[in-house]
């Protein structure tokens, strides 16, 4: 329908919402209210059918890489696709949480109680997290922010000269969050070339050092960064569980373990 016609029934839609009816909003394009995408409709149906262990909880999730600019055109980044963090955010939303997704790889969905904050650099991500996490019930640090920052040149660096770039250590987001936040945190740890036993040991050290409720660790040389599937180990005080499959499936299991072991 034309958007003017859709606007004319706004009061009626509000009354339906007050009665508990779930409204899947249309896509507004070309001055018209068009049917929502199939994926978006499916998300609403899934949320209506899911258990609601996270109703009333605010969950802050980070996802994706960060981009540290060398000049206005070039940047340093990594191969993170943001899929894992995005799937974690959607899984929390299905279970009734109010979700804030802080990401460089935003989703195209417009969902109720699902707010997205798009960031670029590690400092952008840190600021957004600190702004949102203080009243959160859970922080999921699933992003792959840069370990280094660089002073950006004001104009494009000429390609006719050899270039030396000085990298500076970036603040660790979880460590900065722990200075102001005593709530639950799920941390992620990416390594390369470790045995399963070594990976578990590194994850346990991280959980102890940063006082985390759960650590999810994987060897990204094996699979995980930039892929649609992954193999991870989820560690809490109560278990060590290996999970393998599509990232949507792994995200579902991670949140289920958190609910069982940490809530």
The one catalytic residue in 12, 78, 113, 218 is 78
> What percent helix, strand, coil does the chain show, rounded to 5?
35, 25, 40
CB atoms within 10 A of CB 194: 17
DSSP reduced 3-state for 44: helix
* Residues in contact with 41: Cβ distance below 8 Å, sequence separation at least 6, in sequence order: 24
Active site residue 218: no
Burial of 50 (0-12, 13-18, 19+ CB in 10 A): middle
Q: Write out the two tokens for 62.
A: 């980070």
In what helix (H) or strand (E) does residue 198 lie, and over which residues does it extend? helix 196-210
Active site residues: 78
């Amino acid at each position: 329908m034309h958007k003017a016609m859709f606007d004319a029934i706004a009061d009626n839609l509000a009354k339906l919402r007050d009665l508990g009816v779930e409204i899947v909003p249309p896509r507004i394009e070309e001055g018209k209210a068009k049917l929502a995408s199939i994926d978006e409709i499916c998300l609403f149906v899934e949320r209506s059918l899911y258990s609601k262990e996270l109703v009333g909880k605010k969950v802050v999730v980070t996802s994706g890489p960060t981009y540290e600019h060398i000049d206005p055109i070039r940047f340093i980044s990594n191969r993170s696709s943001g899929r894992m963090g995005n799937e974690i955010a959607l899984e929390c939303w299905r279970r009734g949480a109010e979700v804030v997704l802080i990401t460089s790889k935003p989703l195209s969905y417009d969902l109720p109680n699902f707010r997205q904050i798009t960031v670029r650099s590690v400092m952008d991500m840190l600021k957004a997290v600190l702004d949102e996490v203080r009243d959160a019930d859970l922080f999921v640090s699933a992003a792959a922010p840069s370990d280094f920052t660089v002073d950006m040149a004001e104009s494009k660096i000429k390609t006719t000269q050899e270039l030396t770039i000085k990298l500076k250590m970036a603040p660790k987001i979880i460590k900065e969050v722990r200075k102001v936040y005593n709530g639950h945190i799920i941390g992620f740890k990416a390594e390369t070339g470790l045995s399963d036993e070594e990976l578990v040991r590194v994850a346990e050290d991280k959980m102890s050092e940063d006082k985390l409720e759960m650590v999810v660790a994987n060897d990204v040389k094996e699979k995980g960064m930039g892929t649609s599937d992954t193999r991870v180990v989820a560690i809490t005080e109560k278990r060590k569980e290996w999970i393998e499959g599509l990232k949507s499936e792994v995200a579902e299991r991670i949140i289920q373990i958190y609910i069982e072991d940490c809530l």
